[in-house]
Amino acid sequence: MSGRRVVVVGAGLAGVQTVVELRGQGWDGAVTLLGAERHQPYDRPPLSKAALLAPDDESALHAAALDIDFAELDAELLLGRAATGLDAAGRRLHTDAGPLDYDHLVLATGAEPVTLPGTRDVPGVHLLRTLDDARALRPVLAARGSVVAVGAGWIGAEVATAAAAAGCRVTVVEAAHHPLPGALPPEITEPMRRWYAAAGAELRTGQRVTAVRSGEVELADGTVLGADAVLVGVGSRPATGWLAGSGVELAPDGSVSADAGLRTGVPDVYAVGDCASYPSARYGRRLLVHHWDNALQGPRTVAAGILGATAVHDPVPYFWSEQFGRHVQYAGRRGEGPAAGEETLVTRGDPAGDGPWAACWLDPAGRLVAVLAVDQPRDLTQGRRLVERGTPLDARLLADPSVPLKAAVR
């Protein structure tokens, strides 16, 4: 295979891990990794956590590149270079610093945060996707300024956690009527309101933002909130705009439409991580998963395909969050397939209490389809395996938190 070249576009976790997997699986041709940022590859989850509180120590960010020596991997690393277009017929990637020819191309450009209309040039409005974004927000936390987070999703909750820990006055505004909308049902997230209050953060749900001006946020009910910083955390979308006219098919959600092997419809072009959706046989529909674990696992399939092997990417989705002193983990999917809307919720422990707890969802056949664990890593680890295997459980045993999940198998 020597003499052939793989170009990987995107130096986040999915791109870096693709390089690692290629070499690990035996690719002996050239490998080029292209990153739009000038920073060495780094991990993104700490951006909304420790990185906001550690201005002099960014070592926690570099988990993606930890123990990875690109020279040792014989990989060319091109930083500060963004992809601008693709000539698929000519096997040529266009960049802002000139074209790159390839034999195989891997699209790993990730996602970009959604902005609020009219806020792009408003002073004091922040997004949080890059190291530079985190650096821009740090001075407000260091000065114990006032922070308004728009969106009570994962990013909003994590930034609120860091800001409250720094001594800031924190308000989180959410248009839905409960935190983590779209991710979890209200009967599970409603008790999480206590987490905000205990940390000294104010959570305002059912409140729509109507205007953001320098130093203030106006809500639909006329309330005006003062803000030294406004963090917009209302979602993200695949960073695929540069592929317009390339022949690479994009799904309605803007993701690259890959197959089960993470191949696009263009010969020798693959897509992985936050920019790619794939058909899931497990869930019977196309999935777009914006989580770290998906970006970690997908490159194994991509490298196998490039090396001529057959591989399928269809993991049980998994993600985690650290907020208000709690470690929150989730595996599986609710509301999917023929049993959608017919699942039974079983809680283990008290969600309204201060101790660890878990929530499990069973389909009508008693199979575990999803598990949420709060400070309960054993439940998550065992539950994830049970979801993968589709194992039926005894709901009565499952409801007893002293019974390990694996012992509730019927």
Number of residues in the chain: 410
- Compute the half-sphere exposure of residue 153: CA atoms within 13 Å on the CB side of its CA: 16
Q: Which residue has the tokens 């995107």?
A: 10
236-238 vs 256-257, strand pairing mode: unpaired
Reading the block at residue 76, the tokens are 């060319």
pLDDT, position 196: 97
Sequence-distant (6+) residues with CB within 8 A of 340 are none
pLDDT, position 51: 82
Fold category of 125-232 in CATH: FAD/NAD(P)-binding domain (3.50.50)
Q: What is the pLDDT along the chain (410 residues), one digit of tens a residue?
A: 556 999 999 999 999 999 999 999 999 999 999 999 999 999 888 889 878 887 655 665 665 555 688 899 999 999 999 999 999 999 999 999 999 999 999 999 999 999 999 998 999 999 999 999 999 999 999 999 999 999 999 999 999 999 999 999 999 999 999 999 988 999 999 999 999 999 999 999 999 999 999 999 999 999 999 999 999 999 999 999 999 999 999 999 999 999 999 999 999 999 999 999 999 999 999 999 999 999 999 999 999 999 999 999 999 999 999 999 999 999 999 977 666 678 999 999 999 999 999 999 999 999 999 999 999 999 999 999 999 999 999 999 999 999 999 999 99
Backbone angles phi, psi at 241, to 5 degrees: -60, -30
Write the CA distances from 243 to 254, 271, 275, integer angstroms: 10, 12, 11
Reading the block at residue 139, the tokens are 């001075």
Percentages helix, strand, coil for the chain (3-state, rounded to 5) are 25, 30, 45
Torsion 82-85-91-95 (CA) sign: negative
CA 26/CA 28 separation, integer angstroms: 6
Report CA dihedral (261, 289, 272, 81) to the nearest 10 degrees: 170
Domain boundaries, the chain: 5-112+236-306, 125-232, 325-408
pLDDT, position 43: 87
Let me know if domain 5-112+236-306 sits in CATH 3.50.50.60: yes
Q: Are 213 and 228 in contact (CB under 8 A)?
A: no
Compute how many other C-beta atoms are within 10 angstroms of the C-beta atom of residue 244. Answer: 10
CATH of domain 325-408: 3.30.390.30
Q: Are 251 and 257 in contact (CB under 8 A)?
A: yes
CA 241/CA 100 separation, integer angstroms: 19
pLDDT, position 69: 86
5-112+236-306 and 325-408: identical CATH topology:
no
User: Using the 8-state DSSP alphabet, how is residue 281 labeled?
Assistant: T
